[in-house]
Amino acid sequence: MVHTPTFCSMQQPIRDGLWDRFMDKYGWPTVNTFDVYDMWKVTVKDRYRDMMNDAREKAKTTSQSDNPTNWKGHGPRWIRAKHCDSLVNYWNTKKWKKKNAKIAKENHLAQGKDGERKKHIVGLVSFVITKKRLEKAMDRPISQLEFFNHVHRKNQGLGDFVDKKSKRVHDTYKTAIESKYGTVRNNQPEFDLDSWIDAVNGPSKGHVYGFCPGQLASLVLGIPTSPRHSILARDEEMNNLKSELAIAQNTIDENSKRIDDLTVRLERVERNQKIEKRKIVRSMLRELNIPNFQFPSSSGFRNDDM
């Protein structure tokens, strides 16, 4: 696959091919296809951006240079050299540098509804990547509070908070956690959803403060985003129950058929066994010279019929 700077800049046949592969691997009710596609597209765009950020960081680290001109030949192994060099050429353009600087500035200086500036210190790198890197460096999972401190405090999470709101949310959440679970970290959960929602005063414009800006509140809270999604979710649940019922009914039918087959086989074996026993007994009676013996059965067979 030819790697492009963004998912949207991919050729349409390539994007269609990725969607086809996704559909081949997973299944869902047909009525939900449009919703699944929308969520798939949002997720893939996010993950692809993360992959490109990782590739750029890898080239920068390996080359030990901040100058994109020196990044060629230092990309990750999963991108072919010629494609990686093409990406480096794009990252070295004035257009990308200007866009990169603008986004970084917006991330730091975006105005919140409370008049404060929404700030964090991770720049263009997504929260997902940042958290993965932290957990890898610390060799353990980190709590939401630890992660929040890292991205909203200076000096790698040890200095001052970047704004008043982040300090207020931190203090409120920390107080709630210690009140519920005590001050010993091992006794505290990695994340307490109810306490966090209280600390940030609920979702705002479909997002939850402290999480990735592109992450919908519905994904954090685990709830549908609209009545339509709620209806679709119930439709899916109903269809799943119907499928399970059909499977159970098929299992009952299959078991009934198997019972009938086993019953017929058992009757056949018993009948054959009776015939074999009679033959053996008749043979023994002949050896004892006992003529005209009749078995007590409805067959009416006699030894002289043999």
Judged by average pLDDT, the poorest of 73-77, 223-227, 237-241 is 223-227
Burial of 54 (0-12, 13-18, 19+ CB in 10 A): middle
Residue 85 shares a structural domain with residue 168: no
pTM for the model stands at: 0.40
pLDDT of the residue at 175: 92
Residue 196 shares a structural domain with residue 244: no
CA distances from 282 to 92, 195, 268, 305 (A): 102, 89, 21, 11
Residue 121 shares a structural domain with residue 197: yes
The reply to whether 97 falls in a domain is: no
Residue 241 shares a structural domain with residue 200: no
Residue 185 shares a structural domain with residue 243: no
> Who has greater pLDDT, 55 or 131?
55
Residue 70 shares a structural domain with residue 123: no
Residue 192 shares a structural domain with residue 155: yes
- pLDDT score of 8 more than 70: yes
The reply to whether 16 falls in a domain is: yes
Residue 261 shares a structural domain with residue 235: yes
Q: Helical H runs in 64-216? A: 81-91, 94-109, 127-138, 144-152, 154-157, 164-181, 193-199
> Who has greater pLDDT, 53 or 114?
53
- pLDDT score of 125 more than 80: no
User: For residues 293 and 302, is the Cβ–Cβ distance under 8 A?
Assistant: yes
- Which structural domain range is residue 34 located in? 1-92
Calpha distance 219→193 (Å, rounded): 12
In the block, residue with structure tokens 């597209």:
41
Crossing angle of helices 127-138 and 144-152, in 10° steps, is 110
pLDDT digits (tens, 9 = 90+) for 172-195: 999 998 998 888 888 888 888 888
Last residue of one domain, picked from the residues 92, 108, 139: 92
Residue 121 shares a structural domain with residue 218: yes
**Number of domain units in the chain:** 3
Calpha distance 135→141 (Å, rounded): 5
- pLDDT score of 41 more than 80: yes
The reply to whether 80 falls in a domain is: yes
The reply to whether 99 falls in a domain is: no
The reply to whether 204 falls in a domain is: yes
The reply to whether 107 falls in a domain is: no
CA distances from 171 to 4, 135, 189, 283 (A): 43, 23, 17, 99
In the block, residue with structure tokens 């790198």:
125
Calpha distance 64→149 (Å, rounded): 28
Mean pLDDT of 2-30: 83
Average pLDDT of the chain to the nearest whole number: 75
Residue 215 shares a structural domain with residue 234: no
User: For residues 88 and 68, is the Cβ–Cβ distance under 8 A?
Assistant: yes
> Who has greater pLDDT, 149 or 205?
149
